[in-house]
Structure 1
């Protein structure tokens, strides 16, 4: 079923106008960088060979102990996450191997822990299976069947009349875990579930996902467009007033924009809310460091600025670049490039050339982080680099390299190729374990040792973004695909001539709510 028909089922409208472009026209990778694409592929094949030997069928490889871990349902998350990357890299034999395995997954009988994250399962399994179906030329309908099977289980997260899903499901009993969730968990389903509606001719999936986002966007927020992080599915109200582009909030904002592009909907709430959130962030959260004049986005807790950042949050420069191009707004693009440089500074400043999980900074308006005092060692680091490390580990996150990829595809500036090449060199130097690639306990002190895990998103995100940075830009073009938050490409229709209404979402009076005792369980739909 074609996307235009699905959008009609969902009460949306699509257009077929050729329109705005994201990538720089005529972009090509200079020949001197060609070896880096093969280097990224080599890291992938080395990692996968070790996974195949020591962890095949399990969620993650433990490369130091040469074992495995199952913390994502036990269905082989790394395999599903790797499928699209194999197709992008042209590793057809490996894809066939993973296809044979995933065709046999039974999502009705999880082999591992009963509680499963709706968000994590959606972005990896629903997104990964559907992306692989598209990338393989829609030749393997079993991938849609399996995506539907797992989504049918996840749908029990919506109970009664609630429009916000609970965050976790006990799969054996189809029972949601009744607890406060966050806007990232509740608002990062639209790309995957509307794509599932497209291929199943069933609008229910897309309706469930979009109603959640529209509800969040319609609630009053402390700053225009900036929804607080936590939300209670039972009441449908925000829980507190913490504002952030970091974990717990991040992909809600990401998907406001990306759903507008993937669907070409004429409902401007999605992209207008995104634009309003960016405007509020520029006005309130955008800060510069007292050392080096680096740009960062702070958090806000009830009007109090929190001078913290994270590797996870560093997706937003790439997201802003995509949005700036779709809105044809050079101001957003310019700020995004500055923020991208700030995120790269966290890589360029460490012993390993890899950025930390968490950091903080001092800006002219203060240094409050909501935590303890800054240590002398942190102050010394800050005086040299314009930020200081608060969580020193690297758990194979992709976000800095993700934004770097967008910066390259949008601007064509080869400094972004140099940065990606530096990251590949650092990975090859510091991350090899006994059989594959691991994480780091301390990015500024290699002697602190390795973290014994190869994350599933190492296969899905880090190595795909690096490979595509050095690949022919016409392959998996940002004008042809929208990436879900796990870097699974989904085929997009031709772009519109313009996006959004040109207006901002007006601010509504906001009152913070705090959840009391947990609600009792409600019968699932």
Structure 2
């Protein structure tokens, strides 16, 4: 095993500048909304109030509402996850009465014990409960001290997940015995604590929370067998800090680790370049290795990489946050090449929505690309129906359900705020219509078992999890809201879409990465191994969309792939 700090890595897809670059603003200046924005904003607000009123009537105080059976589940230890997750959205939508009721409820939660027999997830409790409590504390003028006190009570219990000298916490704790479940974890669980625990340190004046979260996020190492610089494997052993397997993905189990590498330095304005450089290295390695263009429809996706060192042509709704993340990070580092790749990835993920009968995307999907192993997914051979779907749409669903996930609409929101292109507003409006038509039930909104079934008797999923309130409806609402309200240049969203106030941007983030001035072809015919990468390594930059005889990003990716083969 070898751990390489980004400062020792030659970036493969981008050129490394010796001088600093100015950090860019994320939002486009002078964004203007069309006349129908108010109508669409009101439609989203109505979906929220309809959903939340149904939750209040049948499940208040519990974690999740089951809209078909009109009952509840307690998937997050019975502390009222939907209430805490909804609070920052209530503030955004100016739902004062509901917000005051929610704050009163939150101030009385006893986080010293679980209300269920389940172990407590450090990751889920951090992003939903601690994130929701501290974000609401900020948004409401920092006057509800009980919200900080409750976040501290929970974090103090969760801190027992760090055992001995281990830098990484175990993923779950038994709150009855105050002992962790000693099992393996993943880099998302290890690396998605920094924003929330830093905010807790800020409001308690106790740096131990930041120290715990930072050492956990710094620890993921690179499995030398993977050869993907800056892209640690998904699994990790908290007892040693070593990788478990070599599976690389921007999807579940890894996703928010990469997300926070760029969000944390923006929130804190830290002088430590580690975070931004690690993110830039991960993006660069992904551009070189994981970007993939479907051989039908020319859609750009981000593939996975398995322990057999093969590209898996698979994607997921969860992973579709990457478009918005690359747009944000590219803007922040003043790197339009990354921004353009992010925008193209947004297009690919939106294709998974626009291609289905309901206009809503599936949980997971696959595609084919030209070249060696172009149809490899690591799973079953596609059925005749999947082949037919692929021939028409350039991807095929591998899991067709939708459980009210936000990521595609999240990235669509970033694309709108960064470009001002009204096509992103049109897409958000289409999503609202699909939700109203296909998700609405008697009391509330439910997921779908098959997004390509638009029949009247299509089967629905009896669950309305808390991120419906925290993420989906917040991102949709803000897409049609005044862009100066919760500006991306003034707030940073945690992975549960709870906004945290950010200071004015620094002049630069990271050591300074800029797009290539002229496209070049790689000198090597294969990806360099980890041992090849270091101060003396020489690699050529990835072709950018600026040049190549007018070729766009997707054609450039295919040309680069062909050269590697």
Query: What's the TM-score, normalizing by structure 1?
Result: 0.92
Which runs of structure 2 are paired with 1:55-94 in the superposition (5 Å)?
Answer: 55-94=59-98
Q: Runs of 4+ in structure 1 displaced over 2 angstroms?
A: 217-222, 506-510
Q: 1:4-23 residue pairs with structure 2 within 5 A?
A: 20-23=24-27
> 5 Å matches for 1:123-142?
123-142=127-146
- 2:246 aligned with 1:253: no
Residues 222, 241 of structure 1: 8 Å contact kept: no
Of the three residues 265, 268, 276, the one matched with 2:273 is: 268
For normalisation by structure 2, the TM-score amounts to: 0.85
In structure 2, how many angstroms separate the alpha carbons of the residues matched to 1:318 and 1:256? 14
RMSD: 1.6
Secondary structure (helix, strand or coil) at the match of 1:354 reads coil
Contact 2:221 2:242 in 1 (8 A): no
Alignment of 1:216-255 (within 5 A): 216=220, 222-255=227-260
Distance 1:114 1:44 in 2: 29
For the pair 1:371 / 2:379, whether they are aligned, the reply is yes
Pick from 139, 143, 146: which aligns with 2:147?
143
Q: Counterpart in 2 of 1:298?
A: 303
Aligned to 1:466: 476
2:353 match: 347
Give the distance between the partners of 1:325 and 1:257, measured in 2 at CA: 11
Q: Does 1:494 align with 2:504?
A: yes
1:10 corresponds in structure 2 to none
What is the number of residues matched between the two proteins? 493
Structure 1 position 218, deviation (Å): 7.5
Cross-structure match for 2:16: none
Task: Spell out the pairing of 1:45-444 with structure 2 (5 A cutoff).
Answer: 45-216=49-220, 222-302=227-307, 303-365=309-371, 366-444=374-452
> Deviation per CA, 1:352-378, whole angstroms, max 9, x where unpaired?
000000000011131111111110000
| Residue 217 of structure 1, CA deviation | 5.6
Rounded to whole Å, the distance in 2 between the matches of 1:83 and 1:210 is 27
Q: Distance in 1 between matches of 2:126 and 2:161?
A: 12
Deviation, structure 1 residue 503? 6.2
Moved more, 468-477 or 366-375: 366-375
Displacement after TM superposition at 1:508 (Å): 4.6
Shift of 1:290: 0.7
Distance 2:43 2:458 in 1: 26
**Cα distance, 1:214 vs. partner?**
1.4
Q: Could you tell me which runs of 5 or more consecutive residues in structure 1 were left unpaired when the two chains were aligned.
A: 1-17, 511-525
Partner of 1:3: none
Stretches of structure 2 lacking an aligned partner (at least 5 in a row): 1-21, 515-527, 533-565
Residue 545 of structure 2 aligns with which residue? none
